[in-house]
Structure 1
Amino acid sequence: MSAIVFDKVWKEYGDHIVLEQIDLEIEPRAFLVLVGASGCGKTTFLRMLLGEEQPSRGAILLENKPLKPEPDFDRGVVFQRYSVFPHLTAIDNVIIGREFEMSGCLGRLFGAKRRAAREEAGELLAAVGLVGHEDKYPSALSGGMQQRLALAQALMRKPKVLLLDEPFGALDPGIRADIHVLMKRIWNDTDLTVVMVTHDLREAFELGTRVIAFERPRDRPEERERFGARLSKDIELWPKKVAGSSAVWTRHGPSERPS
């Protein structure tokens, strides 16, 4: 069973076509990476999957059900810009997702529920390497630490699908490599389906189990408004799990399927 299905999806803004005829099935636990030139619709694709944008035509299914028209707790997201709350400590940044989910309009947990949420948040902060930083505010954390915090914040909601929009593009190479190792471990240890946008081909093949390329087949200036991007390449990479909690990605084949 596919986790996500794009069925003949088009996205238009007035007379401007961004994406056209997107047919795609994403299997459960895939780590799908989207690549392509700037402006070819990768982030639009991600925003539709998040629920912030609606297809102009076609349908998006999650576990064989139409995607809800608004962002839901079944989808978590991490952006390139650090998406944490500056007025909350690290542990409160992680807890807040559970508070919104469980406490409705109150937005707060109390008593045993809050203690349980705080314990779980502490475990997630430990998992992303932020032990000892629980009571610090984001301004006291480095960029790499803030992205680790954003990952913990997204994972606290226990999403079925984790969406990553250029999440590591602003990080220094050394920190970026550390985050890659962390991201592999998180994916390997959970049942997440991950969909990530990146401009970095090396990063795409380092992290992904499958790489999708968007391309405008007609890209002359006079054609850009009336012809959108399509899926031009679909390259499958298969994960090989090794001892411990890390994973190594190796190409099995290779298997390349033009769309």
Structure 2
Amino acid sequence: MIVVNNVWKEYGDQIVLERVSLTIEDRAFVALVGPSGCGKTTFLKLLLGEERATQGTIVLDGKPLAPEPGPDRGVVFQRYSVFPHLTVLGNVLLGKEFEASRFRARLVGAARRDAIEEARGLIAEVGLAGSEDKYPAQLSGGMQQRLALAQALIMQPRVLLLDEPFGALDPGIRAEIHVLMKRLWNETNLTVVMVTHDMREAFTLGTRVIAFERPRNRPDERERYGASLSRDIDIWPPRRAGVLDPDSPDRDGPIHEVGASRDDPAPSPQGDPA
């Protein structure tokens, strides 16, 4: 569980976030939406530990959030965060190697064999079996994003943070990645927080959709007032990790429109396509 209590984030005289409080249940899949520049990515960086809150607290599983990124939190960005000089297998192995030897980043003997076996299994899980010896430049965009997911999941994080990870993909590839993401969320012990500008994506994947908005957004107010939470929408019928989505094509019967809120989705703040 993640508990965010009265968090503010300021950069000098500019207030980016103010009075942000929410609780994210264990194994939830929370989608964050809102206009560009309203602080969604800043909030994700606070959860990652890349940024520190100016005031307020963030607690993970009853303990204050570590002040820097750690293996309990994985992250996938829109720009493929993989190392171009390493193969697919090398990219996925890297986290294990740094865990074993922070300075040499090298596993040896039985530990290396076990890590390679685990990495190969995860590579197969994300649909990249047979590509272990390829370099990122030899992969399509969708394949690179699958690799980035494997790279984040190899450390078995408690929280997976996604910063518009599928925004650059073609619609067909994005749909395939959505199916993969649902399966990974259902089959692993993950709490997911995702920033997206795609409302359909938010309602397709999320268990909750949370909107950020600046209540005062005139040019002379943008630095003096930050964004806060304006809407918190539970998906209806509820989605739960490990329970087959009633809209899933894996079920018998017709496929229904994916993802709906208890009420019709409200328009995004400020008229932005969110």
Scaled by the length of structure 1, the TM-score of the pair is 0.94
Name the CA distance, whole Å, in 1 between partners of 2:260 and 2:176: 22
Name the CA distance, whole Å, in 2 between partners of 1:224 and 1:180: 35
Name the CA distance, whole Å, in 1 between partners of 2:130 and 2:161: 27
Matched AA of 1:199: H
Post-superposition offset of 1:130: 0.3
Matched AA of 2:102: G
Q: Secondary structure at the match of 2:101?
A: helix
Name the CA distance, whole Å, in 2 between partners of 1:145 and 1:251: 29
Residue 50 (structure 1) aligned with residue 48 (structure 2): yes
Q: Secondary structure at the match of 1:48?
A: helix
Is the contact between residue 9 and residue 17 of structure 2 (CA under 8 Å) also seen in structure 1? yes
Is the contact between residue 74 and residue 160 of structure 2 (CA under 8 Å) also seen in structure 1? yes
Give the unaligned 5+ runs of structure 2.
266-274
Corresponding residue for residue 239 of structure 1: 239
CA deviations over 1:223-257 (Å, ceiling 9, x no partner)? 1110000100000112162399969975574599x
Post-superposition offset of 1:222: 0.9
Corresponding residue for residue 3 of structure 2: 5
Scaled by the length of structure 2, the TM-score of the pair is 0.89
Is the contact between residue 185 and residue 245 of structure 1 (CA under 8 Å) also seen in structure 2? no
Q: Secondary structure at the match of 1:28?
A: coil
Post-superposition offset of 1:220: 0.8
Name the CA distance, whole Å, in 2 between partners of 1:140 and 1:71: 30
Q: Secondary structure at the match of 1:106?
A: coil
Give the unaligned 5+ runs of structure 1.
none
Q: Secondary structure at the match of 2:189?
A: coil
Post-superposition offset of 1:26: 0.3
Matched AA of 1:34: L
Post-superposition offset of 1:19: 0.3
Post-superposition offset of 1:191: 1.2
CA deviations over 1:92-141 (Å, ceiling 9, x no partner)? 10000111112232211001001000000000010000011010000100
Matched AA of 2:244: V
Judging changes above 3 Å, is the alpha-carbon distance between structure 1 residues 79 and 6 closer, same or farther for their aligned structure 2 residues? same
How many pairs were matched up? 254
Corresponding residue for residue 150 of structure 2: 152
Task: Report sequence identity in percent.
Answer: 67
CA RMSD of aligned residues (A): 2.0
Task: Within 5 Å, give how 1:90-109 maps onto structure 2.
Answer: 90-109=88-107
Post-superposition offset of 1:73: 0.6
